[in-house]
Amino acid sequence: MGQTRHVYQEDKTVWATVKPVKSTEVNFVGKLTPDVTHRFYVRYRTDITADMRLRYGNHIFDIAGPPFDVNDAHELLEIQGEEVFEQERYA
């Protein structure tokens, strides 16, 4: 009720190395839901921002903070992502 629903569209496709970093479960509306954090490594680029989402296979990730230029070398970008679990999946 009165909530804003964000609609995302596919924008870019890039190769990435994906590494799971942490896997825990959190209490969400009285139910345990997974909280998984991953790191994505892509070639350096300036058009990826923290308000975007990442899709890896069937998994969706929110970008947690601004992408990080590894070693300030403009060669590799590290993106920290947190997997999105829609509430309907845990109803």
pLDDT in tens, 64-81: 889 999 999 999 999 999
Q: Is the pTM of this model over 0.85?
A: no
> Which residues are CB-contacts of 60 (< 8 A; sequence separation ≥ 6)?
53, 54, 83, 84
- Which pLDDT tens digit goes with each residue over 10-64? 888 899 999 998 766 665 566 655 566 899 999 999 999 999 999 999 899 999 8
User: CA dist 89 to 15, 50, 51, 59, 63, Å?
Assistant: 28, 25, 23, 13, 21
Return the number of other C-beta atoms located less than 10 Å from residue 79's C-beta: 22
